[in-house]
């Protein structure tokens, strides 16, 4: 599981190999004392053992979104939900699952990537009684 944590931290904090979002290159949003890091990438970037450990499907037509929530630099439990829309406004619900590690908590979900296109992500992060929303566009590419 430490390999999973290391990979997800790296994926969350690095620029996506799957796309580039020039507006928010640091891939984070700050809501008061809450910081939300996010990233999305093609599931083929995961090794088979890491994908299995996280319960993810490795396929060139499957993307992964990874979200982590921090308060004062420490992991914070949250309820994460959201959608991803294509250019025709067809929407897919993101079903996030929590991956808890001793020093980190991640929320991951998969979505289809059948062709190169720009998608709009709408993510809600609920901490306590507050709901924070982040929106971003990202150009996505099916894997090799």
The secondary structure of the chain, three-state, reads: CHHHHHHHHHHHHCCCCCCCCCCCCCCEEEECCEEEEEEEEEHHHCCHHHHHHHCCCCCCCEEEEEEEEEECCEECCCEEEEEEECCCCCEEEECCEEEEECCEEEEEEEEECCCCEEEEEEEEEEECCEEEEEEEEEEECCCC
Residue 7 has pLDDT above 70, yes or no: no
Of 80-89, 90-99, 107-116, 134-143, least confident by mean pLDDT is 134-143
Record the pTM. Answer: 0.81
What is the chain's mean pLDDT, rounded?
A: 85
Residue 60 has pLDDT above 90, yes or no: yes
Give all domains of the chain, ordered by start, each with its CATH number: 2-140 (2.60.40.3340)
């Amino acid at each position: 599981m430490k390999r999973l944590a290391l990979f997800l931290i790296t994926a969350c904090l690095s620029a996506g190999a799957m796309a580039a979002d020039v507006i928010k290159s640091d891939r984070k949003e700050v809501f008061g004392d809450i910081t939300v890091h996010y990233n999305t990438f093609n599931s083929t970037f995961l090794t088979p053992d890491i994908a299995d450990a996280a319960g993810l499907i490795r396929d060139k037509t499957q993307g992964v979104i990874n979200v982590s929530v921090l308060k004062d630099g420490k992991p914070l439990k949250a309820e994460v939900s959201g959608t991803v829309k294509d250019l025709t406004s067809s929407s897919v619900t993101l079903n996030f699952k929590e991956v808890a590690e001793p020093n980190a908590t991640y929320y991951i979900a998969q979505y289809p990537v059948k062709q190169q296109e720009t998608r709009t992500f709408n993510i809600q992060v609920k901490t306590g009684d507050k709901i924070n929303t982040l929106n971003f566009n990202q150009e996505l590419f099916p894997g090799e």
